[in-house]
């Protein structure tokens, strides 16, 4: 690209949010479309974000006693028929292999949409005694769900994720595991992704197929829609009975284990884009940004500018800060636009005059503020600013979200609330017909129960409310 070329425009975030999203994911080099409909190629910049997510989460999983393993991609279709609710829930999305090696297979094989069935079958082999419990395994892998409508990161036919699967001796232990991992996800979302989330139990309609209870982590995007950013499922003994996951207990009796599963995926990258992005493109929190600091030389051929930039880069790298020195021949203006679009948290600008005055200009991507700082203490300044950006992004997102949570007393208020781009809290009687009516008339779904909140009447039918539910339109 020539020196005078500038970054192409992206769609107006206020006028066309979906097109803005598509422009951003493509023009920042996060993904490209794969040759098969509904698939994506995750490019290095996008994959670097995923690697940082993996690193942060993997440390948390291991700290809570989980170990990584890997299970096969192909699952016998007969496994899916063992848990009736599970097979019914996933049947429309399952891709099936019927031929291999030039021959028709004796039994069709499903490409995993999720791994409860195959992992359950292995746990039934490995589990003999109460001494073998708990089993706490996670796997990082790909899954396939044949989606009709797709969008990179948010909903694709193939995506990357982690799925944890655990087995326990008692109901209490399995429920504790379910809630503990939901808490791990919440802490990660807020302290690493800088995204405030609302966690709670899903309705029966929205729960995972085959679960006793599903708990979701809902994040508000800048258009007011919700993104389910992670789930944790208490499976009870449903899969244990289906796959004969039994153990000899201390009292000498054979008992079925209680199981859980939980997962997040590359959808989290979509959450990052839509929770923080602005009219200029990405805004990435420092903890997952592939490049935390970019150094842009001004009048690079004068006054030892390049040497000073290289020294700053070296000092930052010694502090384990991810830094890029852009010494290409593009103009500084083009570089500013390019790195802003890529969401790099901090930009350092160094020119001959800055060196003479012992200063450097630092630009914050989150606030768009630029200030002058002493070169002599620049490394500490950068470290402190990265911490400030991380904290301030979460605070700003929380203020933005909390300002878009409203209450509704009736169906019209639910509709006007979601039309205005809000999360809407409303009383609900617990009746499936009322839940379906909300979706039919407002295109909003019940995201999670608002824990600890009460209402007198159902906003749909006017009957006695059993719960308060958060309704929102969702991705």
Q: What 3-state class would DSSP assign to 380?
A: helix
Q: Which of residues 400, 433, 449 is at a domain's end?
A: 400
180 and 202 fall within a common domain: yes
Q: Look at the chain and report how many structural domains it folds into.
A: 3
* 100 assigned to some structural domain: yes
How confident is the model at residue 115, as a pLDDT?
94
Q: What is residue 431's three-state secondary structure?
A: coil
Q: CA 108 → CA 58, 97, 103, 151, 463, distances in Å?
A: 33, 6, 12, 29, 49
Is residue 98 one of the residues assigned to a domain?
yes
Q: Beta partners for 33? A: 40
Domain ends where: 353, 371, 400?
400
Instruction: Compute the distance between CA of residue 412 and CA of residue 36 in angstroms, rounded to an integer.
Output: 42
Q: What is the dihedral of CA 331, 332, 335, 336, to 10 degrees?
A: -140
Q: Which long-range contacts (CB under 8 A, 24 or more apart) does 39-44 make?
A: 39/156, 39/157, 39/158, 40/152, 40/153, 40/156, 40/158, 40/159, 42/160, 42/266
Predicted local distance difference test score (pLDDT) of residue 19: 97
Q: Are residues 396 and 410 in the same domain?
A: no
* Exposure string for 352-368, b = 16+ CB within 10 A, e = fewer: bebbeeebbbbbbbbee
DSSP three-state, residue 444:
coil
Domain boundary among 400, 421, 436: 400
Same domain, 183 and 332: no
Q: The domain that contains 213 carries what CATH number?
A: 3.30.930.10
Q: 414 and 382 in one domain? A: no
Question: What CATH number corresponds to the domain at position 314?
Answer: 3.40.50.800
Residue 282 inside a domain? The answer is no
Residues contacting residue 341 through CB under 8 Å, at least 6 positions apart: 7, 10, 24, 27, 28, 280, 281, 282
154/228 Cα distance (integer angstroms)? 10
- Judge if 384 and 358 occupy the same domain: yes
- pLDDT value of position 5: 43
Residues 449 and 375 in one domain: no
The answer as to whether 208 is a domain residue is yes
Pair 337, 392 in one domain: yes
Asked whether residue 287 is assigned to any structural domain, the reply reads no
CA proximity to 272, closest of 390, 362, 386? 390
Query: Is residue 149 domain-shared with residue 208, that is, in the same domain?
Result: yes
Q: How far apart, in Å, do the first and last CA atoms of the chain sit?
A: 35
pLDDT one digit per residue (tens) for the chain, 475 residues: 344 444 568 999 999 999 999 999 999 999 999 999 999 999 999 999 999 999 999 999 999 999 999 999 999 999 988 877 776 777 788 999 999 999 999 999 999 999 999 999 999 999 999 999 999 999 999 999 998 889 999 999 999 999 999 999 999 999 999 999 999 999 999 999 999 999 999 999 999 999 999 999 999 999 999 999 999 999 999 999 999 999 999 999 999 999 999 999 999 999 999 999 999 999 999 999 999 999 999 987 887 999 999 999 999 999 999 999 999 999 999 999 999 999 999 999 999 999 999 999 999 999 999 999 999 999 999 999 999 999 999 999 999 999 999 999 999 999 999 999 999 999 999 999 999 999 999 999 999 999 999 999 999 999 999 999 999 999 9
At 154 the pLDDT is: 96
Burial of 422 (0-12, 13-18, 19+ CB in 10 A): buried
The answer as to whether 323 is a domain residue is yes
Range of the domain at 463: 405-472
pLDDT at 8: 63
pLDDT score of 4 = 41
What are the E-state strand segments in 130-223? 135-144, 158-168, 197-201, 213-220
Give the predicted TM-score (pTM) of the model.
0.95
Considering the domain boundaries, does residue 330 fall inside one?
Answer: yes
What CATH number is associated with residue 427? 3.30.110.30
Helix (H) or strand (E) holding 414: helix 411-419
Q: What is the 3-state secondary structure (H, E, C) of 21-34?
A: HHHHHHHCCCEEEC
Same domain? 268 vs 380: no
Shared domain for 390 and 412, answered yes or no, is: no
Residues 334 and 229 in one domain: no
- Tell me, yes or no, whether 449 lies in a domain: yes
172 and 78 in a common domain: yes
């Amino acid at each position: 690209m020539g020196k005078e070329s500038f970054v192409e425009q992206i769609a107006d975030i206020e006028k066309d949010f979906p097109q803005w999203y598509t422009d951003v994911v493509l023009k920042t080099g996060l993904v490209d479309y794969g040759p098969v409909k509904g698939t994506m190629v995750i490019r290095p910049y996008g994959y670097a974000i995923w690697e940082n997510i993996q690193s942060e989460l993997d440390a948390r999983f291991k700290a809570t006693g989980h170990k990584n393993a890997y299970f096969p991609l192909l699952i016998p279709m007969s496994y899916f028929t063992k848990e009736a609710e599970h097979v019914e829930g996933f049947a429309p999305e399952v891709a099936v292999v019927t031929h291999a090696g030039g021959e028709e297979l004796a039994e069709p094989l499903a490409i995993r949409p999720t791994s409860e069935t195959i992992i359950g079958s292995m746990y039934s082999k490995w589990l003999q005694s109460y001494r073998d419990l708990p089993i706490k395994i996670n796997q990082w892998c790909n899954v396939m769900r044949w989606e009709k409508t797709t969008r990179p990161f948010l909903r694709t036919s193939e995506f990357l994720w982690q799925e944890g699967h655990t087995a326990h001796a008692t109901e209490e232990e399995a429920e504790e595991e379910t809630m503990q991992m939901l808490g791990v996800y919440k802490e990660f979302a807020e302290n690493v992704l800088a995204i405030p989330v609302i966690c709670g139990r899903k309705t029966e309609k929205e729960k995972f197929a085959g679960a006793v209870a599903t708990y979701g982590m809902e994040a508000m995007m800048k258009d007011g829609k919700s993104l389910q950013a992670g789930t944790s499922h208490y499976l009870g003994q449903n899969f244990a009975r289906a796959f004969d996951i039994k153990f000899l207990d201390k009292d000498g009796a054979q008992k079925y284990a209680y199981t859980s599963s939980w997962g997040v995926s590359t959808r989290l990258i979509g959450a990052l884009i839509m929770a923080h992005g602005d009219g200029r493109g990405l805004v990435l929190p420092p903890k997952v940004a592939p490049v935390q600091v970019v150094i842009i030389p001004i009048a690079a051929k004068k006054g030892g500018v390049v040497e000073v930039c290289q020294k700053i880069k070296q000092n930052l790298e010694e502090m384990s800060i991810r830094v890029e020195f852009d010494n290409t021949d593009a103009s500084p203006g083009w570089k500013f636009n390019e790195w802003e679009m890529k969401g790099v948290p901090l930009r350092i600008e160094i020119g001959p005059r800055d060196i003479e005055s012992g200063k450097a200009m630092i630009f914050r991507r989150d606030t768009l503020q630029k200030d002058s700082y002493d070169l002599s203490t620049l490394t500490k300044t950068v470290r402190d600013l990265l911490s400030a950006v991380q904290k301030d992004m979460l605070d700003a997102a929380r203020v933005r979200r909390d300002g878009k949570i409203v209450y509704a007393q009736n169906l019209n208020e639910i509709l006007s609330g979601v039309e205005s781009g809000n999360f809407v809290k409303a009383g609900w009687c617990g009746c499936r017909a009322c839940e379906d009516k909300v979706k039919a008339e407002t295109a909003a779904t019940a995201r999670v129960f608002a824990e600890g909140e009460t209402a007198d009447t159902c906003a749909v039918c006017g009957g006695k409310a059993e719960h308060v539910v958060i309704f929102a339109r969702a991705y």
